[in-house]
């Protein structure tokens, strides 16, 4: 696998732009228009949702087809949100996992690691390479409409302990984990799918609560992190974390030492969509060292982002350098997880007796 061009040729800029995008498609199969677009932009990866899922064999074949549309030296990283509980894109006959709160309530890190392993096995069996999990947010606000029982716990230490255990289990199975939503979405009262959220806390509280679980995930070796579309005025009064140089580069990269891949949350979410021009979102996020942008459904937005990412490299040396850095990190992720992966599990692991037993224990011992 080659690093996407580290020169400044037009072809390299175009390739780097596509590689910085993880895109979604509209349905359970690839349309002719989508197939043409994928071949043109050569995205870094794909993300599937419930609208793309009929049954496991179809998901596996869809993932195979998506990979076949791209050059062999640029294999896509195929992604899914398979957290358990409310956020599980592939349901029965895959294991129907309970919310991670119930797993956290069992309060046995060996058990949490086993759950991470099992989820990683099932995700890879379905043809995915990366699971956008675990949620490393602390469920500290009872009025939070979007996190709640997706979090392992309502306390920072327990959240960090179990999120880190989950990361270790999942990545031991060769499945890329992603700690989200940095630097913490747990103390919001707004769903960022619908509007911009603000966390009004002082830096010491943010350090002790919001950042602590992410620090634990980094210590566990998590390969990727996803940003939140949330404003933290104590750190940055102007931009949500996704667009904040002070938060992503200043805190996650420099202060916490993270060298892996940083994803934006979906750019279709109303916290950012329509609030900031797309060019501004991409410019600020790239300057902040966000590597890859999630564009989960809208083809028109994907096309616009692709064109903007090319243009930014052409007109701004700093943006060109940021794109090269992102290409290096994306290549590094591929080298670790795609170059010599463990054998992909058979679909028979879905809802296996061992996995069903784990889910049953979480329900029996962890249900609040």
* Catalytic annotation, residues: 193, 265
State how far the Cα of 108 lies from the Cα of 210, in Å rounded to an integer: 22
Calpha distance 75→67 (Å, rounded): 6
- Per-residue HEC secondary structure of 20-33 comes to CEEECCCCCCCCHH
Residues 6+ apart with CB under 8 A from 277: none
Residue 315 corresponds to which tokens in the numbers above? 């007109």
| 3-class state of residue 141 by DSSP | coil
Q: How far is CA 273 from the centre of its chain?
A: 18
| Contacts of range 235-243, beta carbons closer than 8 Å, 24 or more positions apart | 235/183, 235/203, 235/206, 239/284, 240/196, 240/271, 240/272, 241/182, 241/183, 242/272, 242/281, 242/285, 242/288, 242/290, 243/272, 243/276, 243/280, 243/281, 243/284, 243/285, 243/288
Q: How far apart are the first and last CA of the chain?
A: 47
Report the half-sphere exposure of 175 (CA within 13 A, side-chain side): 33
Side-chain-side CA neighbours of 128 within 13 Å: the count stands at 31
∠ at Cα 233 (230, 235), nearest 5°? 95
Q: Is the dihedral of CA 316, 76, 126, 170 positive or negative?
A: negative
* Rounded-to-5 percentages of helix, strand, coil across the chain: 45, 10, 40
Residues 6 or more apart whose Cβ sits within 8 Å of residue 164 = 213, 216, 217, 219, 220
């Amino acid at each position: 696998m080659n690093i996407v061009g580290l020169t400044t040729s037009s072809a390299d800029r175009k390739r780097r732009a596509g590689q910085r995008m993880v895109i979604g498609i509209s349905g359970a199969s690839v349309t002719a228009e989508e197939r043409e677009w994928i071949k043109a932009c050569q995205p870094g990866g794909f993300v599937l949702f419930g609208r793309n899922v009929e049954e496991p064999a179809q998901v596996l074949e869809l993932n195979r087809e998506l990979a076949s549309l791209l050059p062999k030296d640029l294999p896509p990283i195929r992604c899914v949100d398979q957290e358990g509980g409310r956020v599980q894109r592939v349901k029965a006959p895959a294991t129907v996992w309970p919310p991670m709160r119930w797993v956290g309530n069992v309060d046995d890190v060996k058990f949490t690691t086993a759950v991470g392993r099992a989820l990683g096995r099932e995700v890879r069996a379905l043809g995915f390479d990366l699971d956008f999990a675990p949620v490393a947010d602390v469920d500290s606000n009872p009025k939070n409409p979007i996190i709640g029982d997706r979090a392992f716990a309502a306390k920072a230490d327990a959240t960090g302990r179990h999120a880190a255990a989950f990361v270790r289990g999942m990545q031991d199975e060769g499945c890329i984990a992603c700690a989200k939503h940095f630097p913490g979405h747990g103390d919001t009262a707004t769903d960022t799918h619908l509007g911009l959220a603000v966390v009004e806390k002082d830096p010491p509280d943010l350090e002790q609560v919001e950042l602590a679980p992410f620090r634990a995930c980094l210590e566990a070796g998590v390969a990727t992190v996803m940003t939140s579309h949330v404003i933290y005025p104590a750190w940055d009064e102007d931009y949500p974390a996704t667009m904040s140089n002070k938060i992503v580069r200043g805190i996650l990269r420099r202060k916490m030492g993270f060298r892996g891949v940083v994803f934006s949350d979906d750019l279709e979410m109303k916290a950012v969509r329509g609030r900031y021009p797309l060019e501004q979102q991409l410019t600020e996020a790239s300057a902040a060292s966000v590597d890859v942008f999630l564009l989960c459904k809208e083809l028109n937005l994907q096309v616009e982002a692709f064109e903007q990412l090319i243009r930014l490299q052409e007109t701004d040396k700093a943006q060109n350098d940021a794109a090269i850095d992102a290409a290096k990190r994306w290549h590094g992720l591929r080298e670790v997880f795609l170059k010599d992966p463990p054998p992909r599990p058979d679909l028979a692991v879905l809802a296996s007796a061992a996995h069903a037993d784990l889910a049953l224990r979480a329900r029996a011992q962890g249900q609040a």
